[in-house]
Structure 1
């Protein structure tokens, strides 16, 4: 429908049997023609800034007129006027802007119609609607149709990512970026993106979705693996056939369970075939050499059945029998090269006593032997402790020894000793100290004089299975100044040897100080030493009935499932807000064990700066770990959300809490391995607590106290160079990580090493590069960071030293006023006057994005600052006037401009 002014008229004409209506005008003889034809109000799609106008029209050839004084034209003009509402019939030429002049390709002579089709673009539309108008200035023209449309990129699926129908951009946005989402059962590390061109075509897809475990890509979708197939991880691979010795899987399987009697070792991938247990060694023979007394050689043939594995190792057990009972040979008997972890099928035994009967047993083990109670020799149940007696005593120490019941075939045994003072303080029984020992004797020092202590002990199997406790017995230290009859009491040291691939707790972890004196401390017990992880959970965590737990809201996603905020209401206790970690459906038994092992670790800790375990739910279908609720969530996100809002004193106070928590863990001989701001939680009082013990392990018992991993991911940006290079972790490597956490805190959650790749980070550290001081970082705090990052780990401060240093800073706030030197081009990773590709910034928006301040793009635009030349002229007051209020953001933008100016002057 059209409104027309002046001389335009409605006509009709038959063409090929069809009646066509048109608007026409033909005032070729009049002078100064100005005739307008306007459309009705056309609603604009909110995101369509460009529309296309297709015209079908006829223009008559001026030569077809006979008059001599014609002012005939052969073109007419297209105009547009924008509005937010329909103005009806009101018409003012001044409201319209010219789009283009329309000239026909075909000129019609008298009696002959040649239809023209022209398509013109109307760009930069921004109001709710618009009008089109056609101006005639003296042509003979007829308009038959006007079609107005915009272009879209159709809804599509590319690389398993779905993208919605999108209106194409205009000349100011030639490529419109569109975010998509992965199809069902697919995930992507980064959100999928693609670009829509002005012609309505999709180009340059960014990122890629991959099918989740148990699904494979097929026909732009992720479909379940067929029965008998599996896929263990997020990848673009297809499902694989279940390997040998596994049970047929159901649809959508992420792994194939081993058949009964077959197993996978901890280091075996899920794609590996399952292995059986090795059979017993064959043909054990003992031979003695002439002229050799107390010495013989044992040899045997390998196991006939290796169970499909190549990691077969042999262990030799020696028993000495006197006709009535057998007992272990003891340490006097020597084995060359060893009696455990033997690859060869022979061993030399020496230091044997004459006139005694010796029995030797050889056991074959492989990487899967630990998963079965079946052995080629004897039972693995620990012996029973039968008696405990006092060997010697002084005013500050007690030396004890105990006996065990003899078994027909002995096994290597460890012991768990518990003791406490008999006295009752403030109406409460003193807590037990727990020691894990390698021998059936111990000397305990640093006790109180004239004090009665209660002791009980239990034996542990090599796999960590506990026996029953002995009866609790009392032993007393001597009064102050009195000495035992044995003046030359020998101080006992215990050395722990690796038994299997799990880490074990040794007494030098329990007792170690700079003076090498034994003193009782609460020590951490690795739950991986328990063959049955449920035993560790029962020992260190309280069981909660699921009816006492109410889930309220999902607050995150953990490695094994969702994390909820909820309420714990145990009868007789006050209702408590808690965080609830859940185990997602379809879990494997190994995933359940790994899930619960974190609770076994957390349950051993009790410190105000360590996340507190409330309890676990293990006896019901849906396993849960319940911890205290931290209202402000992860520290890195909290700092980013409050950039510049806290003083240095407050930040250092938060660091003090983290250091105190890590000192507690270090004192328990415990290495965290994944200390980072993302793994620190913050409560409503801004108190920081160490959490996430998924990568943590206990210190291994070797002279350097290190833990060597057999694989797995390492958080490069937070990890000490020796831990990256040799996969060895110590409390000193945790100190390095704490230095990175200090930097994160003082930089309000900035990413360490910015956008450098992991390879670039490792190369830079090895070349002695260290993170520069963040903005406004106190010099004393930065110097402590540098101490944590010393290449020689023995020179780094210990966590006890760090707590002392931070306490001194907090007691003297003036010490935080001296600010470390700051280079904005390095300290906030400014790309100077160029973007990531080295070319100059093309816009203010691109510059703001490079310094992570994109939220202020509109502020700059409204203020009329649209070019980098204008940015370089800005001062701090100008930045504040456009609406940047947060001190941290104000400084970041100001320092960036400073860096831009400095780089520009250098280029000049």
Structure 2
């Protein structure tokens, strides 16, 4: 397709606008003699005449045809060019036919010549410049379409000529007669221009044409009132005929305004209507329970008593809080309570209904009830319940309680209305005491153990006595004794024998639960001695017990085991002190979560950095100021828009701070009209990035939260996203360079994994590349904190969250469980993207087909020229059992070995096919890119008929 054809097609989108002509000189305007310069005087003669509409005009004529060698010149007055580059000359003239003139020599002509001469001012005289072709510039020889004879007088010819480029202040026109009989009736000099126009909601000014007939003059545009740029730069091209063409860039109406005037203006939405987004859509009536009293609103405010949740789009109806739950039923069992209820009659118009259960303890009549202690257990939880049933445990016996069952939804707390609730009042029954906390060994002899313990935390009445159960470790038969107080001596024991001891309390309601089993040993000799006893309790009730006796006759060899035991007990005491110190720190914590974490790390693992989820902060501003540096607006200069993000535009700019060199940076902006939730989510990414410091993770320079718009400043990555960069440079890198990119990505992910951070959206599109081909992990919008307090650390995504199917591990798709192992699966897909130079994983298969194929153990085949070791590493990343996938530290080590041993990268896999690869076998077909429809049908048939070989 040629450039001319492209320009022609592009011009079709513009409204039809006729070219505008503006006259510089017109001899018909003369009201007196023209008095142009003639040479010689016997040549051209000024006379009065009439134009084709019979209006009187001044004309010039010449008819010296009977005299040979004619050279008659006529020059106009100085004509200012007014900065135009090309002018047009319209000539009206008549010429007599030489054949109609008798007795004339053969030198008779029927043509004349048109010249022009440029000058910086009106400096020409009767003799200067000389009347000859140089210094005059010839435009053309003018010939008539029709000449006339005496019998056919009145035939007027019209000719149009143009010339340029012009560079001086003005010019003269000159006409040369070489022996014609003619009359120059009128001369009009003008230029063409493109008139002011509006295209794509942008105004383009009046623009003169270029120097050549084929020139395109660029005219910059500006958005009409109440419009904004959606693509830049804004410009139109004015061609040589004075017509607009090739529009570049566009504007659109801002939120609260709609197109009008045949899409040339943006008018404000009328009262009662709104428009929430920019674009060419029309205003819509306000949703139910909202009203717009003014013009040009992008959100209709809710009526009193109604509101929208932070996640509600502006075009949704305003809703209110629900009514109170119905039919609350309580069932008391000693110190436990079961509560059930029915949903409210009115849900407030919302479907996100949840319940809160508030427990209050009422100890004295006439005194307000107070909130229950933290030890009261409400299962499954106190707040945010979706089911309508809870079980309450650990209440005090014989105590009145009041329970509020609140119904809340997404707008509870948004309005001035307090949550509505139903109340139930109960009194607990008598209950057995709770378990004895722990048992201590005070003294031991060869046949006795002296014990003490603390009373139960909740006795639920008067303690009548305690029961002590003991038995030899490893023996099934147990014995019991009773005690009236919290201490007792157990006698009649065997010497040097370990015993397991448990204690429980009794009230009128019966026995409570036994304490945890504790191990104590009797001594070897009958003489009493002081005993240092330390117990380390585990979930199974095992304990470590050591007794050191003061017998001066005991040999060093006999005492050695006791000395070792005492040392071990001392170590346990130190550990216990550290744990107590941590507990104290936690109780004293009233500031930010970061302060507590830093103090905790000083006791547990100095130097280890742990990622902190910014969403744990009640105030998002506290999180962003904790982890990100606030930059002054004067240090930032935005140069151009380079893209669009979820929250606004992405720009390139410069950052100049004191004592630092000016740097090119990327600038993310928060678009106008944002909600508080959008601002929080926007700054949350900065709070996440600010915690990272690694050469393969995108670096945060700082934030601007006190400016408008709110900005996030990061380092600038010249080559953009990895997937598009690879597609633009298909085949230009050697395998060592590609492995180097993969190594950088793996190093960045290892760093994040070491910080207990799960990315959840690792893909080539979220990897940025700088000018040195260094790859850096970016885009932390989907990632969340990895909780490693359990044996199987996972992150559970929110319901309805979008998952990138082609990059996500099967357990994350099926169960919404994200781990570092699921990031490893995604890394395997990134490896495939890099080696295939940005090919789309699974080609054009649907997401459902991809999930079915992966579940049946089909995996992506090796891309063209893929080294065998790389595809093997991909397959290891795609193992179904997540615990068998390699860690990122091992991936980095493997890639380092490959880079040191480049020969291993030359062994290429033999299965260069475009079809899916089943673990343990291959499918037919060999393709460079995505398979055709026939091949994909073969894949589907194989998937339905073949028994998969599991990973």
TM-score (norm: length of structure 1): 0.56
Contact 1:676/1:741 (CA < 8 Å) preserved in 2? yes
Distance in 2 of aligned mates of 1:670 and 1:789: 16
Residues 140-167 of structure 1 show CA distances to partners (whole Å, capped at 9, x for unaligned) of 2232344444433223112302334445
SS at match of 1:107: coil
* 1:115 matched residue in structure 2: 156
Distance in 1 of aligned mates of 2:135 and 2:342: 105
Distance in 2 of aligned mates of 1:474 and 1:76: 101
* 1:804 matched residue in structure 2: 893
SS at match of 2:47: strand
Per the alignment, do residues 306 and 637 of structure 1 end up closer, same or farther by CA in structure 2, a change over 3 Å counting? closer
SS at match of 1:9: coil
User: Which among 532, 551, 554 is matched to residue 635 of structure 2?
Assistant: 551
Distance in 1 of aligned mates of 2:822 and 2:684: 23
User: Which among 599, 608, 627 is matched to residue 541 of structure 1?
Assistant: 627
User: Which among 261, 269, 278 is matched to residue 234 of structure 1?
Assistant: 278
Distance in 1 of aligned mates of 2:381 and 2:814: 32
Residues 439-465 of structure 1 show CA distances to partners (whole Å, capped at 9, x for unaligned) of xx999xxxxx877444238999xxx99
Q: CA deviation at 1:182?
A: 3.5
SS at match of 2:60: strand
Please tell me whether residue 211 in structure 1 is matched to residue 256 in structure 2.
no
Distance in 1 of aligned mates of 2:314 and 2:342: 32
Distance in 2 of aligned mates of 1:172 and 1:95: 22
* 2:47 matched residue in structure 1: 13
Per the alignment, do residues 54 and 628 of structure 1 end up closer, same or farther by CA in structure 2, a change over 3 Å counting? closer
Per the alignment, do residues 23 and 66 of structure 1 end up closer, same or farther by CA in structure 2, a change over 3 Å counting? closer
Task: Report the aligned-residue RMSD.
Answer: 7.0
* 1:60 matched residue in structure 2: 96
SS at match of 1:680: strand
Distance in 2 of aligned mates of 1:283 and 1:674: 49
* 1:271 matched residue in structure 2: 315
Q: Which moved more, 1:56-65 or 1:103-112?
A: 103-112
Matches within 5 A, 1:743-758: none
Distance in 2 of aligned mates of 1:781 and 1:40: 86
Matches within 5 A, 1:289-368: 300-314=341-355, 340-342=385-387, 362-368=405-411
Q: CA deviation at 1:183?
A: 3.4
Q: CA deviation at 1:657?
A: 3.2
* 1:158 matched residue in structure 2: 199
Matches within 5 A, 1:182-581: 182-183=223-224, 185-189=227-231, 191=233, 196=238, 199-202=241-244, 208-219=250-261, 220-222=264-266, 230-240=274-284, 243=287, 253-256=297-300, 262-285=306-329, 300-314=341-355, 340-342=385-387, 362-369=405-412, 375-376=419-420, 452=575, 453-454=578-579, 455-456=582-583, 524-530=611-617, 532-534=619-621, 536-537=623-624, 540-541=626-627, 551-554=635-638, 559=647, 565-566=654-655
Distance in 1 of aligned mates of 2:849 and 2:81: 54
SS at match of 2:680: helix
Q: CA deviation at 1:55?
A: 1.3
Per the alignment, do residues 72 and 687 of structure 1 end up closer, same or farther by CA in structure 2, a change over 3 Å counting? closer
Distance in 2 of aligned mates of 1:7 and 1:310: 100
Q: CA deviation at 1:186?
A: 1.6
Q: CA deviation at 1:322?
A: 12
Contact 1:542/1:615 (CA < 8 Å) preserved in 2? yes
Contact 1:34/1:136 (CA < 8 Å) preserved in 2? yes
Per the alignment, do residues 726 and 254 of structure 1 end up closer, same or farther by CA in structure 2, a change over 3 Å counting? farther
Please tell me whether residue 598 in structure 1 is matched to residue 598 in structure 2.
no
Residues 91-113 of structure 1 show CA distances to partners (whole Å, capped at 9, x for unaligned) of 55999888576323462527944
Please tell me whether residue 670 in structure 1 is matched to residue 670 in structure 2.
no
Contact 1:34/1:137 (CA < 8 Å) preserved in 2? yes
Contact 1:245/1:273 (CA < 8 Å) preserved in 2? yes
SS at match of 1:276: coil
Per the alignment, do residues 101 and 761 of structure 1 end up closer, same or farther by CA in structure 2, a change over 3 Å counting? farther
User: Which among 177, 183, 187 is matched to residue 142 of structure 1?
Assistant: 183
Distance in 2 of aligned mates of 1:613 and 1:142: 80
Residues 566-599 of structure 1 show CA distances to partners (whole Å, capped at 9, x for unaligned) of 4667xxx999989787767765423332233223
User: Which among 609, 614, 622 is matched to residue 696 of structure 2?
Assistant: 609
| Corresponding residue pairs, total | 695
Distance in 2 of aligned mates of 1:19 and 1:168: 30
Per the alignment, do residues 283 and 293 of structure 1 end up closer, same or farther by CA in structure 2, a change over 3 Å counting? same
User: Which among 57, 76, 82 is matched to residue 111 of structure 2?
Assistant: 76
Residues 414-473 of structure 1 show CA distances to partners (whole Å, capped at 9, x for unaligned) of xxxxxxxxxxxxxxxxxxxxxxxxxxx999xxxxx877444238999xxx9989989x99
Per the alignment, do residues 728 and 793 of structure 1 end up closer, same or farther by CA in structure 2, a change over 3 Å counting? farther
Distance in 2 of aligned mates of 1:148 and 1:773: 68
Q: CA deviation at 1:10?
A: 1.6
Distance in 1 of aligned mates of 2:288 and 2:585: 41
Q: CA deviation at 1:14?
A: 1.6
SS at match of 2:583: strand
Residues 753-812 of structure 1 show CA distances to partners (whole Å, capped at 9, x for unaligned) of 79x9x98998999999999989xx985898589769979896987644542333223333
Q: CA deviation at 1:172?
A: 8.1
Contact 1:560/1:591 (CA < 8 Å) preserved in 2? no
SS at match of 1:275: coil
Distance in 1 of aligned mates of 2:302 and 2:825: 41
Q: CA deviation at 1:15?
A: 1.8
Q: CA deviation at 1:281?
A: 0.7
Per the alignment, do residues 181 and 359 of structure 1 end up closer, same or farther by CA in structure 2, a change over 3 Å counting? same
Distance in 2 of aligned mates of 1:818 and 1:126: 65
* 1:854 matched residue in structure 2: none
SS at match of 2:203: strand
* 2:797 matched residue in structure 1: 707
Residues 112-131 of structure 1 show CA distances to partners (whole Å, capped at 9, x for unaligned) of 44432223566xx6786999
Contact 1:739/1:785 (CA < 8 Å) preserved in 2? yes
Contact 1:275/1:307 (CA < 8 Å) preserved in 2? yes
Q: CA deviation at 1:210?
A: 1.0
Contact 1:182/1:188 (CA < 8 Å) preserved in 2? no
Contact 1:215/1:223 (CA < 8 Å) preserved in 2? yes
Distance in 2 of aligned mates of 1:249 and 1:165: 40
Residues 39-63 of structure 1 show CA distances to partners (whole Å, capped at 9, x for unaligned) of 9999999996x76442111112445
* 2:60 matched residue in structure 1: 22
Contact 2:326/2:422 (CA < 8 Å) preserved in 1? no
Contact 2:204/2:220 (CA < 8 Å) preserved in 1? yes
Q: CA deviation at 1:616?
A: 6.2
Contact 2:354/2:408 (CA < 8 Å) preserved in 1? yes
Contact 2:352/2:410 (CA < 8 Å) preserved in 1? yes
Unaligned runs of 5+ in 1: 380-388, 393-402, 407-440, 444-448, 478-519, 830-908
